[in-house]
Each structure stands twice: as C-alpha cells, then as structure tokens.
Amino acid sequence: MFFNGRIAEDVVTILRNFCYTSEVISNRKNMKTMTCAQMGGKCDHPMTAEISDEMMKVGMEHIEDTHPEMAADIKAMSKDDPKMIAWYEKFMADFAATPDNV
C-alpha cells in the first residue's frame, strides 16, 4: 500500500498542503511522470511532479478522487504497517529511477 510508517500521517497532511498550479509546474525543470499503477494504484492515469513529496501529493489526490476505497484503506493503516514501509521504499526507488521528462 502507501506511505512509510514513520511518516504516514504527516504525508496525508503534506499532500493536502502542497499545492502547485499548472502554470508553475509547466515552468519547472526535472519533472517526472509516473502512472497510478506505478505508484501501487489501480489505473494508468499519468501524474507529473518534480519531487517525490509532490508526486505523493498528486498521487493521493488522484486516489482520493478516483479510487476512494483505496484512499480509505491507506488512511486507515497504522503508520508502522510493514505494507506502508514497503510501499514507501519501493516508491522512492521507482521515483529516483524514473527519467526526467524531456
């Protein structure tokens, strides 16, 4: 599932407070694109961000809007849940390996 146990609750807060307009995003460099499925989700919706925290925010917004049952499961998990820790470690490795958009 989603989020490292040590930051699970804080991530939800960060994700909701981290706002970027499309204009700001379009002027930034080193943007990366990942799909919902690449982030452990259920579809191939693409999401673009510059940093991992922002990608988690965009991903959580998408999940809340499109996959509410999955969002509820994420929010219900303990911050120390091994699934959250495993998801976070995999996400960080996948984000680092994702090439920048050209």
Residue 62: inside a domain, yes or no?
yes
Residue 47: inside a domain, yes or no?
yes
Residue 3: inside a domain, yes or no?
no
Domain span at residue 26? 8-97
Residue 1: inside a domain, yes or no?
no
Residue 43: inside a domain, yes or no?
yes
Counting Cα atoms < 13 Å in the Cβ hemisphere of 77 gives 26
Pick from 92, 88, 7, 3: which is nearest to 51 by CA? Answer: 92
Long-range CB contact pairs, 70-76, < 8 A, 24+: 70/41, 70/42, 73/1, 74/1, 74/2, 74/3, 75/12
pTM score = 0.70
> Mean per-residue pLDDT for 49-61?
95
The per-residue pLDDT for range 18-27, each reduced to its tens digit, is: 544 444 555 5
pLDDT at 43: 96
* CA pair distance 92, 79, nearest whole angstrom: 17
What is the total count of domains within the chain?
1
Residue 73: inside a domain, yes or no?
yes
Other C-beta atoms closer than 10 Å to the C-beta of 22 total 8
